[in-house]
Structure 1
Amino acid sequence: MNIIDMSVIILYLAIIAFVGLLGARRAKTSEDYIVAGRNLSFPMYFGCMAALTLGGAATIGTAKLGYQSGLSGMWFVTSQGIGLVLLSLFLAKKIFNLRVLTISEMLENRFSVEARLISSLVSITYTAMLTVTQIIGIGSVLKVWLGWNFTLSIIVAGGIVLFYTVLGGMWSVTMTDIVQFIVMSIGIFAVMLPMSLSKAGGWEGLHEKLPSTYFDLSVMGGADIFKSLLLYALGIVVGQDVWQRVFTARSLKTSRYGLIAAGGYSLMYAITVAIIGMCAFAVLPTITDPQNAFASMAITTLPPGVLGIVLAGVLSALMSTASGTLIASSTLIVNDIITRFWKRDMNEKRFLIISRLTTLSVGVFSMVCALWIQDILVALDIAFAVLSGALFFPIIFGFFWKRVTARAVFYSILISSVVILISLMMKGTTSIVPILYGLVTSCVTIVLFSYILRDSVKPTVNNEEEHNQKFHTL
């Protein structure tokens, strides 16, 4: 990059750091740090939800898939958009009325402390691995832009995100997400898409230069499309990072309509970035690593100054999701493990200190994992396979089936998690088998055990029926 583009990036990072500091001033209580005081209006909520969903994997990963397969590369992000809409239609009201901080806390209220513990471990694995994917994404683009080695890029990427997330929690994340959402939208839709199409000779030029299969939405194959829907649509529905954003909404109406709007935005983003990947293949068909398709296309296509704006947009997408998943991991550890099992009498000041230290620790751990894994889509597949396969049915049955028992939920999460991890080791992350095995195991276990194993410890109300009725009225 030339001095103009570098100046734009440096200015952008300085603005993000300043906005993050402003957010830190508002994080005075545990609810401020974890759910932004439950006070976000529709514009802020929508922007934050979209920024969370459309991170490094959405941008770098979809461009990679567009480069390799064409328009069908849109399915991975489109599936996330479908998940947001499903969440709005079927669960938003129930989630919003719970007034909890985590999915695991909900499972304890409905079932048992054991369900809370094991589900929190699964969710921590998911959110931490999502953080890893974003750091990998930032590292890969910094490597292409600045010529740094991957290790240095990862260290810089993790440091940027850690700085404002540790300081201000969800308020810093929210305020930086609004800036990042605006920059991301301008960079992708107003600059990168039209200039990429222009460089490739327009839509007609793409038809001339690319195989016809690149314009077929089903060319990825039914199995891969079905895998995307299972992994990402179901994963979004039961993801702690998404639920935590739902908790930040000021009202139920804001929550539901914001989710639908973010889902629609995801569809437009998926199509746009897939087309940019196709343009990259038309202009740069010899890229060694398709994961660098977006960054390489930007450097090749855009003039000085404009390149800096677009690259700031990519950084925005990556950083917004990384900070959201990072605070989600920290919340799970502090709320569902530390304060639940060890330090139950913490005051607000001590809670904030422990939350910041935990956020820092998770961030450092994620950076180490990013250096080890290095492939953004592999990390993403692991995260969503574990989450969707192990938690989808316990949460859905918990909301909609009164007969399900705490012991059934516990064994369902435990057994399905083991099955998924073994399947991932045996079949690999690209296989649809681990998620299918996990879902089937989870469903069969929870149904079977609900009929043959009754809970020995009843919920702490007059009787189990009263407890179930109280929960389901929400």
Structure 2
Amino acid sequence: MALDLFVVLVYAAGMLVLGYYGMRRAKTHEDYLVAGRNLGPSLYMGTMAATVLGGASTVGTVRLGYVHGISGFWLCAALGTGIIALNLFLAKPLLKLKIFTVTQVLEKRYNPMARQASAVIMLTYALMVVVTSILAIGTVLQVLFGLPFWISVLLGGGVVVVYSTIGGMWSLTLTDIVQFVIKTVGLMFILLPICLYRVGGWDELVAKLPASSFSFTAIGWDTIITYFMIYFFGILIGQDIWQRVFTARDEKVAQYAGTFAGVYCILYGLACALIGMAAHVLIPDLDNVNNAFAAIVKASLPDGIRGLVIAAALAAMMSTASAGLLAASTVLTEDLLPRVRGGKQSSLGVNRLFTLLTGIAVLGIALVVNDVISALTLAYNLLVGGMLIPLIGAIFWKRATTCGAITSMTLGFVTALVFMFKDGLDANTPIYYSLAVALVSFVLVSVLSRKPGAVVAGAA
């Protein structure tokens, strides 16, 4: 494995070098958080796709393909269609606002208290997105190189923390482009064809797997609907994704390049599901299906090529990890920190400090959580259950009030937590009940708390 390790180390060193170049371009607060709002089509498309396709999308979809067949692609399909909808329908109004965080929209529509309440939910979501990808990084390094899990987490996650801290969004953009190219080549053009070759070709894959593996609904309609409820809507309101939208030069860049990124996500999901299906044929008695990706890479690829594919997987994971890390630190410095500093806005130095501190905290959390899809589901359940209803209400309902929004956020967030604890992270009940409670409380409290004849400021 020495050659593979060398390839991975070269990749990691390259990410740090790109982080340094990003640091040289990040000269202002706006450069650090949103790359100066000046990305063109190529950079925007690459960074948008790289942000979404991380550890859960790669390792998780291969696992789903191993267990459920081609229908495992629905996780990435939900993410991809969310990206398309966001860029086609929401990018234009978002770019006009010239803001940094999702929660600033709630402040404009309601009041500062709504912004603070939603910031707590958004921070929790962003932290868990980072944890998900760092877990995936640790799993891959542990299985392939035989490293202790904690060392794998600290090494892989440490690289992400360093390059994200020093250069902010410019570092993320530069590394995302390289990561986008590496994972496209490594996973779609190298690993997938080799896996199919090892199986004996498409006909052999069809012959050796049950017919249900080729059904696009084998995973179950309830799971497909839940993926869209969680991931499609989560993409529409996630800070890590909105922050990428804010980097676009103009609305045309966002609409066309963003749509291409969404289509790419769907194709990527199909490729990863097929890799999982091939893994099921080649390694039918895998002890832990969470290790399906690492196991198929280890079993089917020669030295050197294996290192390139490992780097491709790490690229997918690191891009999402860095996006979530910057999103979490941005929420801290833009939404929460000014509250305790008397309204004083954060500087470039403060942004860097809090990105570093957030990164250290995330590495600690990653050492005590152990399932990539469960961690991602936790993040999106809390985000969608807590924020989807008040955010949609802020845009479309004139009678919505601050009391209604805060009550909805609180009860939706708590309901999601309760049902995840009661029924498990993989259950459908957390998202359904949290949305139902959030909707009912939002409408009732808004109607009861609105003064007769009052005009809601900012209503569309």
TM range (shorter): over 0.9
Q: Do the aligned partners of 2:108 and 2:458 also contact (CA within 8 Å) in 1?
A: no
The corresponding residue for 1:436 is: 432
Judge which range, 381-390 or 333-342, deviates more: 333-342
Structure 2: segments with no counterpart, 5+ residues: none
Secondary structure of the 2:25 match is coil
Secondary structure of the 1:88 match is helix
Cα distance, 1:455 vs structure 2: 6.6
Secondary structure of the 2:367 match is helix
The corresponding residue for 1:297 is: 296
CA distance in 1, matches of 2:179, 2:61: 19
Deviations 1:399-440, CA, capped at 9 Å, x for gaps: 122221122111110111111111111111111101001111
Cα distance, 1:464 vs structure 2: 4.1
Judge which range, 63-72 or 81-90, deviates more: 81-90
Aligned residues between the structures? 460
Structure 1: segments with no counterpart, 5+ residues: none
CA distance in 2, matches of 1:464, 1:20: 49
CA distance in 2, matches of 1:360, 1:343: 23
Deviations 1:26-76, CA, capped at 9 Å, x for gaps: 111111111111010010000000000000110000001101111111111
Deviations 1:272-298, CA, capped at 9 Å, x for gaps: 000000000100111111111111111
Secondary structure of the 1:273 match is helix
Q: Which runs of structure 2 are paired with 1:393-408 in the superposition (5 Å)?
A: 393-408=389-404
Cα distance, 1:340 vs structure 2: 3.7
Q: Is 1:134 aligned to residue 133 of structure 2? A: yes
Q: Is 1:387 aligned to residue 386 of structure 2? A: no
CA distance in 1, matches of 2:20, 2:271: 33
Q: Which runs of structure 2 are paired with 1:289-328 in the superposition (5 Å)?
A: 289-328=288-327
Q: Is 1:409 aligned to residue 405 of structure 2? A: yes
Judge which range, 196-205 or 360-369, deviates more: 360-369
The corresponding residue for 1:372 is: 368
Q: Is 1:244 aligned to residue 243 of structure 2? A: yes
State the TM-score, normalized to the length of structure 2. 0.97
The corresponding residue for 2:441 is: 445
Q: Do the aligned partners of 1:407 and 1:455 also contact (CA within 8 Å) in 2?
A: no
Secondary structure of the 1:25 match is helix
Q: Do the aligned partners of 2:399 and 2:450 also contact (CA within 8 Å) in 1?
A: no
Report the residue type matching 1:129 in the other structure: M
Report the residue type matching 1:430 in the other structure: D
Q: Do the aligned partners of 1:187 and 1:310 also contact (CA within 8 Å) in 2?
A: yes
The corresponding residue for 1:42 is: 41
The corresponding residue for 1:217 is: 216
Q: Is 1:14 aligned to residue 47 of structure 2? A: no
CA distance in 2, matches of 1:106, 1:341: 20
Change (3 A) 1:268 1:190: same
The corresponding residue for 1:111 is: 110
CA distance in 2, matches of 1:113, 1:379: 30
The corresponding residue for 1:352 is: 348
Q: Is 1:232 aligned to residue 222 of structure 2? A: no
The corresponding residue for 1:468 is: 458
Q: Do the aligned partners of 1:67 and 1:280 also contact (CA within 8 Å) in 2?
A: yes
Q: Do the aligned partners of 2:26 and 2:32 also contact (CA within 8 Å) in 1?
A: yes
Report the residue type matching 2:439 in the other structure: C
State the TM-score, normalized to the length of structure 1. 0.94
Change (3 A) 1:141 1:343: farther
Secondary structure of the 1:64 match is helix
Report the residue type matching 1:445 in the other structure: S
Secondary structure of the 2:404 match is helix
The corresponding residue for 2:31 is: 32
Cα distance, 1:185 vs structure 2: 0.7
The corresponding residue for 1:254 is: 253
Q: Do the aligned partners of 1:406 and 1:455 also contact (CA within 8 Å) in 2?
A: no
Judge which range, 246-255 or 211-220, deviates more: 211-220
Report the residue type matching 1:105 in the other structure: Q
CA distance in 2, matches of 1:230, 1:237: 11
Secondary structure of the 2:347 match is helix
Report the residue type matching 1:439 in the other structure: L
Q: Equivalent pairs: percent with the same residue?
A: 40
CA distance in 1, matches of 2:349, 2:370: 31
Q: Which runs of structure 2 are paired with 1:142-221 in the superposition (5 Å)?
A: 142-221=141-220
Cα distance, 1:219 vs structure 2: 1.0
CA distance in 2, matches of 1:345, 1:123: 21
Report the residue type matching 2:415 in the other structure: V
Change (3 A) 1:422 1:93: same
Cα distance, 1:111 vs structure 2: 0.5
Cα distance, 1:443 vs structure 2: 1.3
